[in-house]
Amino acid sequence: MGVLQFQEILRLCDEILAISRAVDIEVKESNGVEGLSGIKCGTEAVHMGNSGEGIRKVVRNYYGYRARESSCCCSCSCGASVDSIEGLKGPSLGCGRPLERISLTSGEVVLDVGCGAGKEVIEAALRVAPGGLALGLDMTDEMLSLALENRRISGATNAFFLKGTMENIPLPDKSVDVVISNCVINLAQDKGAVLTEIFRVLKPGGRLAIYDTVVNDEVPSAAKADEDLWCACISGALTPVEYRQKLSAAGFSEIDVQIDTWAEPMEDLGNTRLGSAFITARRPGASDHFDPVDV
């Protein structure tokens, strides 16, 4: 690792420390969401509507509740993330295992968009040490509280957690080598905005390696307005073609969408099929690190 890269990591580390400490204080002082024991995604208290903020409120409430549980977030038959470190708390939510499909090297900066309880952030932190950083972004206080506790349990001092939305990532331009995510981007109302923001924070040559749900055909309009189906990672899912188009529009190259599994057709949704996809892409430009290895 060169001197300039090391200095860049030190600068970024200072910025992240300031943000992370603010998040730690905010999460500790937060009272969380009231009535978590009985909350569902589609409650009378919170309505999704058609706006991005409405969807975020519903998703935030739902996953605040799910912070107490441990199961796959989507309806397809897929594996959740590996709990590779003993003693970590909270659920493992996801539709695949992105860290099993890529190589990471010491000194890299990794960002997990929608990190939940932070287990994949901890795993990534261990893999990029020494000299690297693993960052987790989430908007849910309950998940961030679990993530901070998991950082303490694991002793991963190069893991940091940031509070924010994936449409407005609180990081500088061109500051991240690798972005991972696990069954999260489908939950956003504006996927194009999310992918554009991910492109912004990636360094030239930086890599995107995510798992997400996809559908074989466009979800019916009525289903897109269903809050429970949205939180179940169904209503907001894109088709593989739509995913490629949005990645290309955001500026990515070397786009690949690999379908791991397709679930059985859902009769209530016009026989739409839900799948689990491993999606990779790259921000064009020179890279200081090795390419990912698909295993």
The per-residue pLDDT for range 183-217, each reduced to its tens digit, is 999 999 999 999 999 999 999 999 999 999 999 99
Q: What integer is the mean pLDDT of 84-93?
A: 77
Structure-model confidence comparison of residues 17 and 142, the more confident one: 142
Asked if the structure places residue 288 within a domain, the reply is no
Decide if pLDDT at 88 tops 90.
no
Among positive and negative, which fits the CA dihedral 184, 189, 191, 195? Answer: negative
Cβ 117 vs Cβ 68: under 8 Å: no
Asked if the structure places residue 289 within a domain, the reply is no
Given 3-state DSSP classes, what are the helix, strand and coil percentages for the chain, each rounded to the nearest 5? 35, 20, 40
Which CATH number belongs to the domain containing residue 8 in this structure?
A: 3.40.50.150
Among positive and negative, which fits the CA dihedral 255, 261, 265, 268? Answer: negative
pTM of the entire predicted model? 0.80
Decide if pLDDT at 276 tops 80.
yes
Q: In the chain, what's the furthest Cα-to-Cα distance?
A: 58
Asked if the structure places residue 294 within a domain, the reply is no
Asked if the structure places residue 64 within a domain, the reply is yes
Q: What integer is the mean pLDDT of 33-58?
A: 48
Per-residue confidence at 219, pLDDT binned at 50, 70, 90?
Answer: confident
Asked if the structure places residue 295 within a domain, the reply is no
User: Residue 4: which H helix or E strand, with range?
Assistant: helix 3-29
Asked if the structure places residue 218 within a domain, the reply is yes
> In DSSP terms, which residues pair with 211 in a beta bridge?
182, 278
For residue 39, give Cα distances in angstroms to 159, 233, 256: 31, 17, 37
The per-residue pLDDT for range 224-240, each reduced to its tens digit, is 888 888 888 999 999 99
Structure-model confidence comparison of residues 289 and 238, the more confident one: 238
Structure-model confidence comparison of residues 7 and 71, the more confident one: 7
Decide if pLDDT at 81 tops 80.
no
Q: What integer is the mean pLDDT of 247-270?
A: 94
Compute the residue count for the chain: 295
Report the number of distinct structural domains present in the chain: 1
The per-residue pLDDT for range 98-149, each reduced to its tens digit, is 999 999 999 999 999 999 999 999 999 999 999 999 999 999 999 999 999 9
Asked if the structure places residue 291 within a domain, the reply is no
Q: Which of 3-7, 54-58, 130-134, 175-179 has the lowest mean pLDDT?
A: 3-7
Asked if the structure places residue 261 within a domain, the reply is yes
pLDDT for the residue numbered 51? 55
Q: Which domain holds residue 188?
A: 3-84+91-282
Task: Report percent pLDDT > 90 for the chain.
Answer: 57
Decide if pLDDT at 293 tops 60.
no
